[in-house]
Amino acid sequence: MPLTATREDIKAYQEKVEKNKITSNDLDPCPRCNLEPIHFKIHAYRERRFLIIVEMLVKAVHCALVRFKCSGCGKTFAFYPDFAVPHKHYTRQTVLTFSRSYVEDDQKTYKDAVMTVDGVPECSEKGRPLAPSTIHRWISTLAGIFTAYQAAKEKPLEEKASSGLCKRQIPKKKYRTLTRKEVLLKCRGFLGLSPVERINVFSPGLR
C-alpha cells in the first residue's frame, strides 16, 4: 500500500465534487428510517484539510466533502472518499500503513513504527515530525471503526476477520491496560478484513 494519498488523488476528487459527480447511490439505506439512498439530497459541502506525505514532508491539501440528508427522517451523512478516514487529517493510506507496521510486528514500539519508512515524515507546517502518539491514536480510531461496524452487523465480523494476525496473542509489552489490549485486538481485526470488507467498514452510511 502506498504511504499516502497523492495531491492528484485529492484534486481528482475535488473535481468530481465540483462537477456534481458524487451521488448518494453508493450509500447504504438510512440507518434510522431505512429509506433508500436515492432519496438522499445534498445537504452541504464542507471543506476538509488533508495531510499528505510528499518526499517525507507533510503537506496540506484542501478538498470539499459532500454531506447528504435523508429526506425521510432528516439524518445527515458525510460521504467519505476512499482516501479519507473520518475525523482524521492524514489519509487512509498513511493511517493504515503506520498502524499496520506497529500491530503486525510484535517487536515494534510506537517510536519504531514512526520509522517504518525511510525516515520520519516531517510536518513542514508545524515544524515537527510525525509523533509516535499519533500512531497510538490511529490504532484507537481503527479499533473504534471496527467496533462500530461489528455493532451495525447482525453477525460479528471478528470470526470472519481471522487472518493469522487476529489469532496471535498481543505481546504484553504492547499494552499496560486490558482496555488497550482490547483496542489492539480490534485494530488487528480491522487490518485482517479483506479489501472488500474494509470498503464496507468505511462506507459512509455508517456515520
Least separation in angstroms between residue 204's CB and Zn ion is: 14
Rounded (10°) angle between helices 92-104 and 178-191: 120
CA–CA dist 41, 89 (Å, integer): 26
CB nearer to Zn ion: pick between 28 and 158? 28
Q: Please say which residue, 27 or 123, places its beta carbon nearer to Zn ion.
A: 27
- When the beta carbons of 33 and 57 are compared against Zn ion, the nearer one is 33
**Cα separation, 60 vs 53, whole angstroms:** 9
Of 30 and 53, CB closest to Zn ion: 30
| Binding span for Zn ion by CB under 5 A among 20-28, 54-62, 73-81, 184-192 | 73-81
Tell which one of 29, 42, 72, 136 touches Zn ion (CB under 5 A).
72
Binding residues for Zn ion, total number by CB under 5 A? 8
Neighbours of 153 (CB within 10 A): 12
**Alpha-carbon separation of residue 1 from 4, 64, 100 (angstroms):** 9, 24, 11
**Of 22, 30, 53, 123, which one interacts with Zn ion (CB under 5 A)?**
30
Backbone phi and psi for residue 47, each to the nearest 5 degrees, phi listed first = -80, 135
Q: How far is CA 185 from the centre of its chain?
A: 17
Does residue 70 touch Zn ion according to CB under 5 A? yes
Q: Which is nearer to Zn ion, 27 or 114 (CB)?
A: 27
Subset of 126-165 contacting Zn ion (CB under 5 A): none
- Does position 52 interact with Zn ion (CB under 5 A)? The reply is no
Alpha helices in 59-162 (DSSP H): 92-104, 110-114, 132-152
Does residue 41 belong to the site contacting Zn ion (CB under 5 A)?
Answer: no
Residue 49 within binding range of Zn ion, rule CB under 5 A? no
Relative to beta strand 122-123, strand 57-70 is parallel
Give the chain's count of helices (H) and strands (E): 7, 5
> Segment near Zn ion (CB under 5 A), from 49-57, 62-70, 89-97, 186-194?
62-70
Residues that bind Zn ion (CB under 5 A): 30, 32-33, 35, 70, 72-73, 75
